[in-house]
A and B are shown apart, each in its own frame.
Chain A
Amino acid sequence: MGRYIIRRLLWVIVLLIIVSIVTFLIFYLLPSADPAALRAGRSPNQQLIAAIRHSLGLDKPLYVQYWRYMKGVILHFDFGYSYEYSQPVRAMIVQRLPATISLTVGAVIIWLATGLPTGIISAIRSRTLLDRTTMGGSLLAISAPVYWLGLVALYLFANDIGKVHIFDGANTYTGLTSNPGRWFGSLLLPWLVLAASFSAFYARLLRSNLIDTMSEDYIRTARAKGLPERRVIGRHAMRSAITPIVTVLGLDIGTLMGGAILVETVFNIPGVGRLAYDGIQNADLPIIQGTVLFGAFFIVIANLIVDIAYAYLDPRVRYS
């Protein structure tokens, strides 16, 4: 197991290097704008642009730029300075992290608390009207794009622009430490919007897992033992049906920790996703590189954790 983890961690490093190269290349091959021109003011002259280009190091060959960047990352854990804000990228990401964590954790709690019970009830009452209604509704929730859902939610329920004033709208994010009540209020609508499709997806996934599991021979054995149905489902069926959910959950959390770009943008929450969005808007390569690497890191680590967790969840799985 120890050797397995070490091998996997080495792979994480290789993977992150590949991700950084790809990001670098994409930025230069398909630039959203010329970073130097963007910073040269309204009526720039060639000299000024050249000077800015030189000061940002953009006049060096690509491999030199990449090498400089990676040297900083590997030796000093330094992700460079933002072109736009002239601040260290690492500090900017760390500063944005609490908002992203708040958004992710709250949404995870909501979608688990709603999706799992829905999935269980739908599975037990499968093919009934209740099941068909919830599964039909969940399909809608999965199909609705999250930015559209966010805008509609704001239009309907936000305190400022909404038809019915229920929730705090966009732009209201407050840090947990500065005011817990306002933190909660400002995140409620983003949580619900972000959780909607996940909740629906988890409900459907658990339902189908549970229905499959209920037809397993060992469920028949559990019933033949004389166990009450509640225990047959709660212990025997759920134990198997929940395992794939853990996998998906790990990956989803990993992805969202890298920034829920759409929700953070719609609600203007100052998280990592919003930072990435701004970075792309400003052709701010260090920010883009930083947030992409950061997101990729969370995803591969989440993958690793899920794989390790699997060895504990399913005794048949052993790594060597």
Chain B
Amino acid sequence: MSEPLLEVKDLRVRFHTEDGVVHAVDGISYSIEKGKTLGIVGESGSGKSVSSLTTLGLTRRFRASIDGQILFGGRDLVSMPEDQLRKIRGNDIAMIFQDPLSSLHPFYKVGKQLMEAVLIHRPVGRAAAHARAVELLELVGIPDPKTRVNQFPHEFSGGMRQRVMIAMALANEPKLLIADEPTTALDVTVQAQILALLQDLQQRLGMAIIIITHDLGVVAEISDDIAVMYAGRIVERADTESIFTRPQHPYTWGLLKSIPLLTSPRDEELVPIAGRPPSLINRPSGCFFHPRCPYVREEHKRVDPRLAPVPDSPGHSVACLLSPGVRTQIWQGLEAGRQPEELRHEYVEAPAVPAGAGVAAPGVAASGAGVASSGAAVTGVATTEVTTTDGADAGQEDES
């Protein structure tokens, strides 16, 4: 495994508001290698945008407490002084945002905004910067760039505006591009074009991409790895194929079953995830997902699961208290088109695990205490409850 380009270690971001402390990001770790693509998936308010804004130091001003490390080229971006971090922003790490109209300044011509991105980091003249602006517009596939460079953002269509944003982000050939919901505000057909453009540019320029989205369909197409976030934490992390073929977390199932995929049968019913994302000020007890989880058990309301490796799926980890065997069976049931209600009766409320294939013996996956406790519960073995929030099991974060 080569040296990661960006490595986030136990990042925590808390905002101090009048209503209380918002735990926007609560101890997430991930890394991305050069030229790779990581998808971060989650609902609004899951902390996915905050974590990426924090990478560029853009959450600093909001009375935030930021802990943990974000290592980029061996340097920690969290503790880096503002003036040094500024030299990385838009230069080594660039970012594009959800709404390309509101993200471009309405009063300045796009050429001027592109030139500014170049001039701030490069010791070049205005003529060279202007030539670069035209070149960038051409690079992102905007026809007639010499004319377009002198137009204002409102003269561009939504897709073209996002191309301008991408051009601006690429101005200094960044090593990492963070794309925060880059296609959400766009038409479906334009979405596909923008994703294709990002992939094409990635291959040509060799940059790494972190793509943040609520849409699994988006990351399916372009990500190498996927991290699923819920309530400020990563609840599941794996390579893209594993997420789609062997998803482990009930929330991931919810995401997969609530979107129509071209590959799924036509008559398949979509299953929405019930309820709303939790408040990040007063978070639920135990597993943060338990109020919405169809497969919740009583003890899940008390025990806080930690991210732990999934047996027989290398590089795959999940924070779920259900035993691996039960998870596999439920997912197979969902894939067969069965409803969560039914599966809940069969696998969660049933007093004992039905004997059958795919059920791991309790304890096999017991490297994580959460898994052990749920495994114990499944088999009816009385054990003392293991609370994993006290940090005793921090070691299980390590899954290399």
Interface residue ranges, A against B (CB under 8 Å): 216-218, 220-228, 236, 239-240, 243, 313-316
B157 nearest CB across to chain A (Å):
15
Docked pose: A114 CA to B108 CA in angstroms = 28
Q: Can you report 9 residue pairs joining A to B where beta carbons are below 8 Å apart?
A: A218-B105, A220-B53, A226-B87, A226-B121, A227-B90, A227-B116, A316-B106, A316-B152, A316-B154
Residues of A within 8 A of B168 (CB): 221, 225
Task: Tell me whether A314 and B89 are in contact in the complex, defined as CB-CB below 8 angstroms, given that A220-B97, A226-B121 are known contacts.
Answer: no
C-alpha spacing A228/B168, complex, angstroms: 17
Q: Flag B176-215 by CB within 8 Å of A: 1 or 0 each.
A: 0000000000000000000000000000000000000000
| Interface size of B in residues (CB-CB distance below 8 Å) | 29
Q: Which residue of A lies closest to B172 (CB)?
A: A226
Q: Does B91 contact A (CB under 8 A)?
A: yes
Residues of B within 8 A of A228 (CB): 86
Q: Tell whether B88 is near chain A: CB-to-CB under 8 Å.
A: yes
A240 to B97, CA, bound (A): 20
Given contacts A217-B99, A239-B107, A240-B107, contact A225 B58 (CB under 8 A): no
- B106-A224 in contact (CB<8A): no
* Cβ-defined partner of B105 (8 Å) among A222, A224, A226, A313: A222
Task: Tell me whether B103 and A220 are in contact (CB under 8 A).
Answer: yes
B90 and A315 within 8 A (CB): no
Minimum CB distance partner of A315 in chain B? B152
The interface centre, meaning the residue of A218, A221, A224, A313 with most chain B CB atoms within 10 A of its CB, is: A224
Dominant secondary structure of chain B at its interface with chain A:
loop
Q: A220-B103, A221-B168, A315-B152 are in contact. List 19 more A-B contacts (CB 8 A).
A: A218-B103, A218-B104, A218-B105, A218-B106, A221-B97, A221-B103, A223-B56, A223-B89, A224-B58, A224-B95, A225-B120, A225-B168, A226-B88, A227-B86, A239-B108, A240-B107, A314-B106, A315-B106, A316-B152
Give the 10 A-B CB pairs with smallest separation, nearest first: A226-B90, A226-B89, A225-B90, A217-B102, A218-B105, A217-B103, A315-B152, A224-B95, A221-B103, A225-B117
Contacts of A240 in B (CB 8 A): 105-107
B94 at the interface (CB under 8 A from A): yes
Contact of A225 among B108, B109, B116 (CB under 8 A): B116
Distance between Cα atoms of A223 and B116 in the complex (Å): 12
| A223 proximity list for chain B (CB < 8 A) | 56, 58, 89
CA distance A315 to B109 in the complex (A): 9
Inter-chain contacts of A315 with B (CB < 8 A): 106-107, 109, 152, 154
CA distance A313 to B106 in the complex (A): 11
| Nearest CB on B from A225, distance (A) | 4
Q: Mark each residue of chain B from 80 to 96: 1 if its CB lies under 8 Å from any CB of chain A, else 0.
A: 00000011111100110
- CB-nearest residue of chain A to B101: A217
Residues on the B chain within 8 Å of A224, using CB: 56, 58, 89-90, 94-95, 97
B109 proximity list for chain A (CB < 8 A) = 315
How far, in Å, is A248 (CB) from chain B's closest CB?
Answer: 18
Residues in chain B near residue A313, CB distance under 8 A: 107
How would residues 47 to 72 of chain B score, 1 for a CB under 8 Å from any chain A CB and 0 otherwise? Answer: 00000010010100000000000000
Q: Which of B88, B102, B165 has the most CB of A within 10 A?
A: B102
Residues on A with C-beta less than 8 A from B89 are 223-226
How far is the CB of A53 from the nearest CB of chain B, in Å? 60
Residues of B within 8 A of A316 (CB): 106, 152, 154
Q: Is the CB of A216 within 8 A of B102?
A: yes
Instruction: Report Cα–Cα, A224/B86, bound state, in Å.
Output: 8
Question: CB-CB < 8 A to A226: which residues of B?
Answer: 86-91, 117, 120-121
Within 8 A of A (CB), among B21-80: 53, 56, 58
Query: Which of B56, B102, B104, B107 is within 8 Å of A314, CB to CB?
Result: B107
Interface string of B138-156 (1 = CB under 8 A from A): 0000000000000010100
Closest chain A CB from B110 CB (angstroms):
11
Task: Give the one of A218, A223, A316 with max B CB within 10 A.
Answer: A218
Min CB–CB distance B105 → chain A (angstroms): 4
> Taking each of A225, A228, A313, which has the highest tally of chain B beta carbons within 10 Å of its own beta carbon?
A225
Q: Are B97 and A227 in touch, CB under 8 angstroms?
A: no
Measured in the bound complex, the distance between the Cα atoms of B338 and A284 in whole Å is 92
- In the assembled complex, the CB of B187 is this many whole angstroms from the nearest CB of chain A, namely 19
* Chain A positions within 8 Å of B104 at CB level: 218, 221
Residues of A contacting B99 in the complex (Cβ-Cβ under 8 angstroms): 217
Report the bound CA distance from A217 to B161 in whole Å: 14
Residues of A within 8 A of B108 (CB): 239
In whole angstroms, how far apart are the Cα atoms of A222 and B91 in the complex? 13
Closest beta carbon of chain A to B136's beta carbon, Å: 13
Q: Compute how far the CA of A227 lies from the CA of B105 in the bound complex, rounded to whole angstroms.
A: 14
CB-based nearest B residue for A222: B105
Cβ distance B223 to chain A, nearest Cβ, rounded Å? 22
**Which chain A residue lies CB-closest to B86?**
A226
Task: Indicate the member of A217, A218, A226 with the most B CB atoms within 10 Å.
Answer: A226
In angstroms, Cα B104 to Cα A239, docked, is: 13
Q: Which residue of B lies closest to A228 (CB)?
A: B86
Give the distance in Å from the alpha carbon of A316 to the alpha carbon of B56 in the complex. Answer: 31
**Nearest B-chain residue to A214, judged by Cβ:** B61
Which residues does chain B contribute within 8 Å of A222, judged by CB atoms?
A: 105
Bound form: Cα–Cα A239–B106 in Å: 10
* CB closest chain-B residue, reference A243: B107
CB distance from B2 to the nearest CB of A (A): 27
Nearest CB of B to A185, in Å: 42
In the docked arrangement, what's the CA distance between A227 and B82, Å? 11
**Cβ-closest chain A residue relative to B82:** A229
**A residues within 8 A CB of B56?**
223-224
Given contacts A217-B99, A223-B58, contact A236 B105 (CB under 8 A): yes
Report yes or no: B120 in contact with A227, Cβ–Cβ below 8 A.
yes
Q: Which residues of A contact B120 (CB under 8 A)?
A: 225-227
Contact with A along B277-293 (1 / 0, CB 8 A): 00000000000000000
A225 vs B88: C-alpha distance when bound (angstroms): 9
CB <8 Å contact, A217 and B117: no
- B367-390 interface with A by 8 A CB criterion: none
Once the chains are docked, how many angstroms separate the CA of A218 from the CA of B90?
14
A239–B152 Cα distance when bound, in Å, is 15
Contact partners of A217 in chain B: CB under 8 A: 97, 99, 102-103
In chain B, positions 234-293 with a C-beta closer than 8 Å to chain A are none
A2–B106 alpha-carbon span in the complex (Å): 25
